[in-house]
Structure 1
Amino acid sequence: MRPNLMARTLVAATAVAGIAAGSLAGATAGFAASAPAAKPAMSTQAVSVQAVNNLGLNTNEAKGIQRVLKRDWGYKGAIDGRLGTESWKAMQRYLHKYWGYNKKIDGVVGSDTVKALQRMLKKYCGYKGKIDGIAGKDTRAAFKWFANHYA
């Protein structure tokens, strides 16, 4: 799902929930009880949030990373160029084994994941920044270099 489409969907869902809550807040118990049950404005299955974080890689670079993760680190998803939760779980397994990632393997690209990635990038990919857990432009540039040279 494209980021702006996901944002619009989440804003719409929030607005619908807010309007529904506001409508019921002013209703009396007798009015609320007599009103027919409204169908939900949106099915809970209609919104699917998939965390995709390519850290600046284009689709082809991300596909290269996914191929390595599939070959060596248990990634079972599609080679689609979208580094989502399953791609990052496989990356976390790699970072756990070699680069000091010691948190839950959850596929979330948090600061601990980024710190472990930065340690690897510092050793092999020319990253000269701090090990700070912030995926800034230097981290992204080194990750891009890694994708183009090792994946």
Structure 2
Amino acid sequence: MRTLTRTLVGATAVAGIVVGSLAGASSGFAATEAATKPATTPAASAEAVSPLAVDNHGLSTGEARNVQCWLMDDWGYPGPLNGQLDTESWKAMQRFLQANWGYPGPINGIPGVGTDRALLLFLTADYGYPGPIDGIWGPRATVSFKKFAAWCARSC
């Protein structure tokens, strides 16, 4: 009985390995065939792709809208006033930071370390951010950014 059980378990294991190998082989062949065929048209051109992410840096929609009003009035933000700090909002913010707070990077609408460093410098000078000026956004930076957003409400 014991020998029969071992034989049955062994045969089941071998059958499982064989079936798994065949299943893996078929998907492997399909992937290889697809990879060797040239693409007829690209999915999208590099020029057509732009960042669409929203990064409110901890602001509520209403607070972000206040900032957008100020950016629209003074820094060329084209709208809409929707409370979503998107690419166009950050481009306007980068223009402000470049003109006044030493932002050295491109006007690309992506709030990276350089954008955050210049924004932190501004918030330190005028809105009570206690530092450090390291380009890393944290809760204390958000508190100061909220103070700035409250000041921006005058523009709406």
TM-score higher than 0.5: yes
Q: 2:81 aligns with which of 56, 79, 82?
A: 79
In 2, the alpha carbon distance for the partners of 1:133 and 1:74 equals: 24
Residue 125 of structure 1 corresponds to which residue in structure 2? 127
Q: 1:28 to 1:121 in 2, by over 3 A?
A: closer
Query: Which consecutive aligned stretches of 4+ in structure 1 deviate over 3 angstroms post-superposition?
Result: 22-25
SS of aligned partner of 1:27? helix
Q: What percent of counterpart residues are identical?
A: 47
Residue 15 of structure 1 corresponds to which residue in structure 2? none
* Superposed counterparts of 1:13-24, under 5 Å: none
Deviation, 1:150, is 3.4
Query: Which sections of structure 2, spanning at least 5 residues, go unmatched?
Result: 1-24, 35-42, 45-49
Query: Which sections of structure 1, spanning at least 5 residues, go unmatched?
Result: 1-21, 34-42
In 2, the alpha carbon distance for the partners of 1:147 and 1:130 equals: 20
Q: Does residue 97 of structure 1 match 2:102?
A: no
In 1, the alpha carbon distance for the partners of 2:29 and 2:87 equals: 41
TM-score scaled to structure 1, two decimals? 0.69
Count matched residues: 116
Q: Is contact 2:91-2:108 (8 Å) kept?
A: yes
Deviation, 1:89, is 0.1
Residue 59 of structure 1 corresponds to which residue in structure 2? 61
SS of aligned partner of 2:104? coil
- The RMSD of aligned alpha carbons is 2.5
User: Over residues 102-140 of structure 1, what are the superposed CA-to-partner deviations in whole Å (9 max), with x where a residue is unaligned?
Assistant: 110000010000000000000000000100001111111
Residue 106 of structure 1 corresponds to which residue in structure 2? 108
In 2, the alpha carbon distance for the partners of 1:137 and 1:147 equals: 15
Q: 2:29 aligns with which of 23, 26, 33?
A: 26
Deviation, 1:149, is 2.2
User: Over residues 13-67 of structure 1, what are the superposed CA-to-partner deviations in whole Å (9 max), with x where a residue is unaligned?
Assistant: xxxxxxxxx97642398xx59xxxxxxxxx87xxx96210001110111111000
